[in-house]
Amino acid sequence: MCANRRQAGGFRKKMNNVLKEDPPLVAIVDSDVQLAEAQARSLSPLGFKALAFNDGSALNEGLSQGRIAAVILDLQVRSTAGWELLEHLRTRHPDVVVIVQSSSIDVASAVSAMRGGAFDVLEKPVRVTELQTRILEGLLHKRSKGGSAPRPLGGATHANTAVVAREGLSRLLGNSAAIARVREQVRGIARFSEVSTLIIGETGTGKEVVAEALHALSSPDKPFVTVNCAAIPDSLFESELFGHEAGSFTGARNAKPGLFETVGEGTLLLDEVGEMAMSMQPKLLRVLQNRTFRRVGGARDIELKARIVSATNRKLSAERQDGMRSDLYFRLAGFTIVLPPLRHRLDDIDLLANHFLLDFANRYPGIPTRISRTAAELMLSHPWRGNVRELKRVVEQAAVLSGGSVLDEQALSQAIDERRGSSRALTVANATSGNYAKLDAQLGLNDEPPSNDVSVAENGRAASPRAVVGAASGTFPIGLSDQLGLNELQQKLILETYEANAHNLTRAARALRIPRTTLRDRLKRYGCL
């Protein structure tokens, strides 16, 4: 409870600029008048003015005067009065935060309530600290430019609506125009389940979160399955997607349905689709064209019912598919969503950072629940090459490092510096064990460089790796020390080339003249991915 009080206190301080120190007026509408009055009394000591009503008719005067900031609405599924009031609030008073509470509600009704403008759906009995937190979250989100009904920061407490709250639009945090456009695109495409969607964005921008939001809006009670196209060997890819019949190949003792089949009417996310092998692309194209597929070794067609969503950090476009068949690209990109990098949505950094901090504080009481002004300014000046993912990790690390109730600039700066150096520290640890002979050959750092590389300097001496890589298309870092051993040079070469190319795997791999998958594997071992 102490953690929740600190969390609400952090929100309340942040609300001062919006509310101008005027306690928000909360209306509690419940057919059980005693319960409504009890909730009103419990909210008053926490900084709210709360009034209890047994129906919606008495709300009209307060709503018309614009005095009511939030409505806690008891929604009985079998009664039309609550639904009518919810619709009235959505159409006539969209700036009012509406929180639905009910003793019994199913998934379909919860989805309808949130689509109808409810900020969140909570199961009775609701803890006062939970209710306080939800109200403050909603009021904080009212500062969004559109002024429409906000969405919650956290997940709902009702077990049946957890998927909706966790995976819906509530997770697409931000008030910037860029992220608002993404939300509108997700809403627009959600009902067209047969239209393939391609999500393009840099590493860490939240491509999977967008896919989950799309799934939650369209089929929240169906499976959501992710397959990493870069992690499955080419030889197993077809079996994983299409499934196989018994005896179709060596080791196939039993029939096995593939992901296309097991996901049913749910959503299948093809993550890192730009890494899909060329041999698999015509087969996937055929599935998308015909909406049917066959198991490996099978003789009958199976209807594809799933929504297909793809994600990639490659800069695919109609003019350039970067290793992908153009016809497959156009099939995957029936609708395209481009996610903005964090550096293009600076207005969202403060909101995201506070959300990550409070979420962390909920799980680990005793850490800061507020970010200082100077720390917030430092966040705005940091480039955030790893985007939202990096921001979350830095905020959590700074919260651990901070000794007080406020996450200050010193802790944040230390967290940023330590994350920059963590990959180098892991590199030294990894260098103490393992056989690098095979790796050296893979990276082209062995004694026999490829014949098409620039390997000899003008004076006849062997060129350094810097000269070799510098000749490739891509940015190579400067300042490598000649005092490093081969293993250390190799690791430093990879890490600094990755950094110099703004964490773009394709450009860094091209600069290093190694396969992109090899680079990804090394970066994972170094703790960078």
> For 35-53, how does the pLDDT look when each residue is reduced to its tens digit (9 = 90+)?
888 888 888 776 778 888 8
What is the reported pTM?
A: 0.53
> For residue 288, what pLDDT band results from cuts at 50, 70 and 90?
very high
Q: What is the pLDDT of residue 486?
A: 56
The closest of 183, 260, 182, 193 to 225, measured between CA atoms, is 260
User: Under 8 Å CB-to-CB from 393, ≥6 apart: which residues?
Assistant: 386, 419
Q: Round to whole Å and give the CA distance between 375 and 366.
A: 19
| Least confidently predicted of 75-89, 136-150, 256-270, 440-454 | 440-454
pLDDT in tens, 330-377: 999 999 999 999 999 988 999 899 888 888 887 887 888 889 999 999
C-alpha 255/C-alpha 296 separation (Å) is: 10
Burial category of 57 from C-beta neighbours within 10 Å (exposed 0-12, middle 13-18, buried 19 and up): exposed
Q: By three-state DSSP, how is residue 53 classified? A: strand
- Mean pLDDT calculated for residue range 438-442: 38
Is the pLDDT at 8 greater than 70, yes or no? Answer: no
Rounded to an integer, what distance in angstroms lies between the CA atom of residue 113 and that of residue 87?
A: 9
Q: How far apart are CA 73 and CA 27, in angstroms?
A: 8
484-497 average pLDDT score: 71
Across the range 186-206, mean pLDDT stands at 91
Q: Is the pLDDT of residue 199 over 80?
A: yes
Residues 6+ apart with CB under 8 A from 111: 161, 164, 220
Q: Is the pLDDT of residue 149 over 70?
A: no
DSSP label at residue 99: E
Q: In this structure, what token pair is assigned to residue 114?
A: 């949130």
